[in-house]
Amino acid sequence: MIDNEKVEEIFLVLEDKLDKTVNVLQSDYAAIRAGRANPHILDKIQVEAYGAMSPLQQLGNIAVTDARCLVISPWDKSLLKSIEKALLASNIGITPTNDGTVIRLVFPELTEERRKDLVKQVRKMGEDAKVAARNVRREAMEALKKMKTNKEISEDESKNCEQDVEKSVSKCVSSIDATVAAKEKELMTV
């Protein structure tokens, strides 16, 4: 007799963790600058404002003025120094220019060597995501084996569930590969 609720829970957890693995990879990739102005590199930057740490996006408008320039217009001009300080401390590799009303971030052209280094970093992040997906698979397989050992599911049901786990993980790995390939293409496009 199969315990559908437990099996469903295993698959819900599996799908959730696999989705999170891909989403984390994509958000990490958004923070990698590719020589073009990308406001997402500022997503994780926290600025000290009004006695507390606040995300940069909540303190002003971030605009892409051309392919290689971001302009940050704080709603409160008194925060310009704090924003500039946070940008310098964030190690994004770009020095901000403060003109008293806005902060400009000009992205330099990437050298061929830097592009190759970034591609290596992207591939490593992709491999780490695949390892995470495999760990999620292992957890699901162990849960299914435990159910089989406890006679909660039959041998055949266990095999079918294991095949479904493999399909889910394969789909996730394909998604990771596609994400890696897209980021590599973006980085190598001059």
Residues 130 and 148 both lie in one domain: yes
Average pLDDT over the chain, rounded to an integer: 87
Last residue of a domain, one of 79, 106, 133: 106
Residue 149 has pLDDT above 70, yes or no: yes
The reply to whether 100 and 72 lie within a common domain is yes
Q: Are residues 116 and 23 in the same domain?
A: yes
| pLDDT, tens digit, 9 for 90 and up, residues 108-118 | 777 888 888 88
Residues 100 and 115 in one domain: no
102 and 121 co-located in one domain:
no
Residues 26 and 54 in one domain: no
Find the domain containing 62 and state its range: 39-106
Residues 121 and 175 in one domain: yes
Looking at the fold, whether 127 and 179 belong to one and the same domain comes out as yes
Name the pLDDT band for 100 (thresholds 50, 70, 90).
confident
State the sign of the Cα–Cα–Cα–Cα dihedral 65, 55, 91, 77.
positive
Res. 1: pLDDT tops 50: no
In whole angstroms, how far apart are CA 170 and each of 26, 29, 94? Answer: 18, 21, 38
Decide if 55 contacts 46 (C-beta within 8 A).
yes
**Nearest alpha carbon to residue 42 among 76, 75, 90, 85:** 90
CATH number of the domain encompassing residue 158:
1.10.132.20
Comparison of pLDDT for 146 and 67, the residue scoring more: 146
pTM, full prediction = 0.71
Separation between Cα atoms, residue 92 and residue 42, nearest integer Å: 8
Q: What is the pLDDT of residue 67?
A: 78
Q: Mind listing the pLDDT tens digit for each residue in 17-76?
A: 999 999 999 888 877 766 677 788 888 889 888 888 989 888 889 988 887 888 999 998
> What pLDDT score does 151 carry?
86
Which CATH number do you get for residue 65? Answer: 3.30.1360.40
Q: What's the mean pLDDT in 136-152?
A: 91
Q: How many domains does the chain have?
A: 2
pLDDT confidence tier of residue 3, bands split at 50, 70 and 90 = low
Residues 120 and 182 in one domain: yes
Q: Are residues 46 and 96 in the same domain?
A: yes
Q: What is the pLDDT of residue 12?
A: 92
Look at the alpha carbons of 59, 65, 67, 70 in this order and tell me if their dihedral is positive or negative: negative
Check whether residue 99 and residue 141 sit in a common domain: no
Domain boundary, last residue among 80, 106, 132: 106
